[in-house]
Amino acid sequence: MPTPEPERSGSNVPSIPGPSTPLTNSYTYHCPTPTAPGPYILGVDEAGRGPVLGPLVYGVAYCPASYQADLEELGFADSKTLTAEKRSLLLSILGSDPKNLGWSVRVISPQAISSGMLRVPPTNLNRQSQDATILLIREVIQRGIQLSEVGVYVDALGTTTTYEAYLSSVFPGINFTVTTKADSKFKIVGAASVAAKVTRDACLEGWIFEESKGNKVVNSSSTWTTEFGSGYPSDPKTQAWLKNSIDPTFGFPSVVRFSWTTVKVILEREGHGAKWIDEGQESLMKAFVTPTGRDKDRCVVTKDLSMQSVAYL
């Protein structure tokens, strides 16, 4: 009989997958659309760029420009400077005034991060971050929120002036401010920071291992825990989790970002070696190779193309 799935932590966080639902694909969550007239200001921030475990979450928060004085009094700030309890309270506050306050998150799964960074050519993390930011802003606009000619504040990604110009080219007529520590400078970015951080933390705290679902168990010991630590490669708790969770044949569960150097080193050191044999390619090579160099030993293709060796390819 399969082991019952654990209840997901953070069940009061509406932006995470449902109970017993593994996070296998990237997704977007939008709160109900505010109804107060615009124009609106909007902030963008993220949580989880550096960790080797779990999703990268981009968040946006928005409110009417006329609501800024009220926003200043709500206590939003850089989420890293707040306790978990304070962040949870602020997320509740963000949802307590649906007429004026709105927020959305884009959850980029670890699988999507890895597959993007490992494909050829790679889609690096900056590009994936840009795509998430643009998707969120575009969908907020499509939901009827007027951002035209008001402030959109974005935490820095790369060179600030270059990123500002890029976003302005994608959304003509919208005034973008890209700056470092935007979550400390602008309350609306602090609100986005809280939405992103609470969502990411809740995803990790209640992580459902898809590899252990039902009879689909690929880890021989099935002893994965959610005691991940912070998820950063330098965290001793994260290092211990990685050390104890590797399967020499199958590697790690999908909570791990396989594109991180930390993981590549562990797999190289601890994993079983593998040799890839492409039988189709091997047959093709045999068709073109001429063992003796004599014309009568060459196949029809090599004769027709006047090929003397594989080097011709």
pTM score: 0.83
Give pLDDT tens digits for 289-307: 545 544 555 455 445 555 4
Which residues on adjacent β-strands are paired with residue 46?
A: 58
Higher pLDDT, 291 or 192: 192
Query: Cα dist. 255→18, 110, 172 in Å?
Result: 17, 6, 38
Instruction: Report whether 45 belongs to an annotated binding site.
Output: yes
Torsions phi, psi of 251, nearest 5? 80, -130
Q: Where are the domains of the chain?
A: 27-206
Instruction: Report whether 155 belongs to an annotated binding site.
Output: yes
Look at residue 275 in the predicted model and tell me its pLDDT: 75
Give pLDDT tens digits for 133-155: 999 999 999 999 999 888 999 99
- Cβ burial 90-120 (10 Å sphere, 16+ → b, else e): bbeebeebeebbbbbbbbbbbbbbbebbeee
Give pLDDT tens digits for 226-272: 899 999 999 999 999 999 999 898 899 999 999 999 999 999 998 88
Q: Work out the average pLDDT over 184-203.
A: 96
Of 238, 293, 294, the C-alpha closest to 266 is 238
Q: How many whole angstroms separate alpha carbon 108 and alpha carbon 127?
A: 12
Instruction: Report whether 183 belongs to an annotated binding site.
Output: no
Instruction: Please say whether the beta carbons of 155 and 44 come within 8 A.
Output: yes
- Cβ burial 1-12 (10 Å sphere, 16+ → b, else e): eeeeeeebbbee
Q: How many whole angstroms separate alpha carbon 143 and alpha carbon 166?
A: 23
Fold designation for 27-206: Nucleotidyltransferase; domain 5 (3.30.420)
How many Cβ atoms are within 10 Å of 179's Cβ, its own excluded?
15
Look at residue 236 in the predicted model and tell me its pLDDT: 95
